Structure 1
Amino acid sequence: MATSVYETVLIGTCDGVIDKKKNTSYSTNKIGDRPDLLPIITLQYPICSLCQRGLSHVVQIYCPLAASPYHRTINVFACTNLQCCGKSESWIVLRSQCLDDDIKARQDDKTTPYTESAMSRTDWCDEADDWGMDDEEQEKVAESSAQMPSDSTSEGNDVSIRLQDLCIDGGDQSALEPTDVPVFKSFYISVMEESDLGGYHDMDHENKLLREYEDREGKIVREIQSCGSGKAQEEYEKATAKHGDEAFTSFIKKISLCPEQVLRYSWAGSPLFITEPPSNVNQMVSCCGHCGAPRVFEFQLMPALVSLLSSADTSSDISLEFGTVLVYTCRNSCWKSGSTIPVEEFLVVQPDPDQKLFK
């Protein structure tokens, strides 16, 4: 998979519990709760292909692409059945899109007007990121978008933003959800660029985690130290982890500046594998089932998310176990004008390599 020399990587972290009294919408980046649908989307709640149980909503990411006129939301679901944990077949990722005109049409149809907050789409794309795309990649996305049917000619066609908590008060549409599907506690997701992590906070917590890793894996790691530039440096002695997996060692090194990250976003960038992937991993990622275009890596869920996935119902006990979940989406982000059904994309679940040590 071709990537740019410099990839913009966005880091998502937990930013507090979502108050049940506050409404969220399709533009809210969040953990857990129920999915918030784009105005025209109808969702038949997904079920596990292994045990046929309803899947629980894990994360919602609002991620419109540069040079595209579409609002764009991705929702990830997983099965909480212990027998299905760690298996890609028990997860599903859905991509939904719609145009500004679709939202306006819905406003006209509603008895109670649909109102956006004072911040419009164009207000927050002037100084935003380009989601890690180089010029060539942006041109390809722009060409693909131009070829897709579109009724929108608004000034918001160049949508280029970072993940953020931009809440637009939505309507009352909700997913067609079985009443017995477990619901995870809900948290906001905030974002920063990985390049800004130097000096993010003091290194005591990170060094503690490194010491624990060192004791567990038998690998010698020197402490992270802040340098004069405000960025952190880490030095690693050559050694072999107990499980012999260099990918895991590299993974730990990469996230050490912010172990609490729950998500890494880099459209068409490089995934961070927690265990050595198969040599044919690129061939394993299937092409888009709708337009036939190759899929590109978009984001991944990180180990710190596991501890946040507990039941919203205090009387029940649910959880998920995984190392990382890699999400791949259609390079063209294809969408049929007028469609009301989400597009299923592709994901790979990698288990935590430490889990096998206890089996």
Structure 2
Amino acid sequence: MASVAQEMTLIGLSDGELDTKRYQSSYLTNKVGGQPDWLPGISPLPPRCSRCSAPLAHVVQVYCPLEASPYHRNLHLFACLAAECSGRSECWTVLRSQRLETEVAAAQTSTRHIPTQDAPLLATDWCDTADDWGEDGDGGWEGGVKEEIQVQEEVAAPEAEVSEMVVSSHLHDLSLIGSQDIPIFRPYFISVVEEADLFGEEEDLDHAQQLLREYERREGVAVGELEGSGGGGEEKYEKTRAKHGDAVFSRFMKKISLCPQQILRYCHSGRPLFISEPPSNMAQLVSACGYCGGSRTFELQLMPALVSLLQRKDYGEKVELEFGTVLVYTCTNSCWKSSSDSAVEEFCFVQTDPDQQLFK
């Protein structure tokens, strides 16, 4: 893929429900909900809300190795479902876990191989390691099934080899769930496309422009043409205030109007897309890494369209979890001690949605 310096943004889309009776997910799987699949040797305690101490629900799992790194790498996001905790940054937790490729390979060879049915074709790369996982050497990502086949061919074998460990981990998780009543969301696969590729189809672009015009009429704001639709992608945002008075939100809508169903945006060391005006001291709010003391950088954010997917697996009480966007900042150096068996906590910043009904 392109270098980090180019700030290539990847878009996560829901790709169908994960039927756990037919498919075995692992740490290589990008998914919404379900139980977290930890890397071999990682066994963190289930996180709890820092406000009310309730057990947190697993919201998203992302497999995101970094360029030229010898580590497999995961991010897991958790949230409190209590109504009074909704929209609070302190009621979310993001955990980063890593394992050296050599350590994972050693663990795989030491376990007994149990054949399992392959999961659906998935794109598992969010960073610059795509060449390592079957992408074309030119760094392109055409989207769709064929490149996902390449990825799946690479990951299917190790995924099967670690199945015994994954099953054991799930049994351990089940015992924890039974004793602590941890809520579980229905699981969905996440597929990946490059944001730049969304501008490739003229028909889709025309539809996006129509949606944008409808938004302008409804909100009484002019936001110009979509980036990438001409003029060399020049920013044409007009500083007309929307009916709700939030120009930042108008820009947010402009940016996602081509693909409003996106549930996740990934751009390691890129720029976050704020849904409302961020605090003036945002740089100071993003705390230093609690383990190495180094700085943190933006890595990914959850999007409003994800809210409608978050349904309790047991079809129980209505989920009260709502947000505009959840921004995740991780250690710039992605620090890790190879001897560690616990995940590293990173930084979350939650912004509420000033116009939540647009996404329902």
* TM-score, L = length of structure 2: 0.78
Q: In structure 2, what is the Cα distance between the partners aligned to 1:215 and 1:310?
A: 33
Distance 1:69 1:5, change over 3 A: closer
Distance 1:126 1:284, change over 3 A: same
- After alignment, is 200-209 or 296-305 more displaced? 200-209
2:127 equivalent in structure 1: none
User: In angstroms, what is the RMSD of aligned CA positions?
Assistant: 3.5
Deviation at 1:283, TM superposition (A): 1.1
More helix by share: 2
1:334 equivalent in structure 2: 335
- Letter matched to residue 197 of structure 2: D
1:11 equivalent in structure 2: 11
Q: In structure 1, what is the Cα distance between the partners aligned to 2:81 and 2:188?
A: 18
8 Å Cα contact 1:74-1:95 kept in structure 2: yes
8 Å Cα contact 2:33-2:58 kept in structure 1: yes
Deviation at 1:297, TM superposition (A): 0.2
1:257 equivalent in structure 2: 258
Q: In structure 2, what is the Cα distance between the partners aligned to 1:178 and 1:27?
A: 22
SS of the residue corresponding to residue 191 of structure 1 reads strand
1:274 equivalent in structure 2: 275
1:124 aligns with 2:134: yes
8 Å Cα contact 1:287-1:293 kept in structure 2: yes
1:32 equivalent in structure 2: 33
Deviation at 1:304, TM superposition (A): 0.8
Structure 2, unpaired ranges of 5+: 122-129, 142-147
Q: In structure 1, what is the Cα distance between the partners aligned to 2:14 and 2:93?
A: 22
Following superposition of structure 1 onto structure 2, how do residues 299-338 of structure 1 map, counting pairs within 5 Å? 299-338=300-339
- After alignment, is 312-321 or 80-89 more displaced? 312-321
SS of the residue corresponding to residue 59 of structure 1 reads strand
Identity of aligned residues (%): 51
8 Å Cα contact 1:227-1:233 kept in structure 2: no
Q: Deviations over 1:200-254 (max 9, x none)?
A: 563576456435533552224678799699x999976653112221111111111
Q: Deviations over 1:23-43 (max 9, x none)?
A: 000010011111001011002
* TM-score, L = length of structure 1: 0.79
8 Å Cα contact 1:80-1:320 kept in structure 2: yes
Q: In structure 2, what is the Cα distance between the partners aligned to 1:92 and 1:225?
A: 33
Q: In structure 2, what is the Cα distance between the partners aligned to 1:225 and 1:331?
A: 29
8 Å Cα contact 1:306-1:319 kept in structure 2: no
Deviation at 1:101, TM superposition (A): 2.5
- Letter matched to residue 124 of structure 1: G
1:213 equivalent in structure 2: 215
Q: Deviations over 1:159-195 (max 9, x none)?
A: xx9xx77552333223643331211111111111111
1:143 equivalent in structure 2: none
8 Å Cα contact 2:204-2:258 kept in structure 1: no
Q: In structure 1, what is the Cα distance between the partners aligned to 2:99 and 2:218?
A: 48
2:194 equivalent in structure 1: 193
Q: In structure 2, what is the Cα distance between the partners aligned to 1:115 and 1:341?
A: 29
